[in-house]
Structure 1
Amino acid sequence: MNALNPLLKDGSLPQARAQEPSMEDILASIRRIIAEDHSDGFAGAYPQRLGSVTPEPLGLDQTEGAASSDPEQPLLSAATENSVVTAFNILLASKAVQQSDLVIDLARDMLRPMLKAWLDDNLPAIVERLVKAEIERLTRAD
Structure 2
Amino acid sequence: MAEARPEPSMEDILASIKRIISDEQTPSPQSVAPSRVEHAPIAPPPAPRSPGEPMTGWPRPGESQPPESILELTERVPGRVPDRTAEVPPPPPPRAIPEPAAPVQRAVERLRQAEAEMPQPAAPRPVPRDLMPRTPTPRPAGGDITLDALVRDALQPILSDWIERNLPDMVERLVQAEIRRMTEKDG
Instruction: Tell me, yes or no, whether TM beats 0.5.
Output: no
Counting helix residues as a fraction of each chain, which structure ranks higher? 1
Bigger radius of gyration: 2
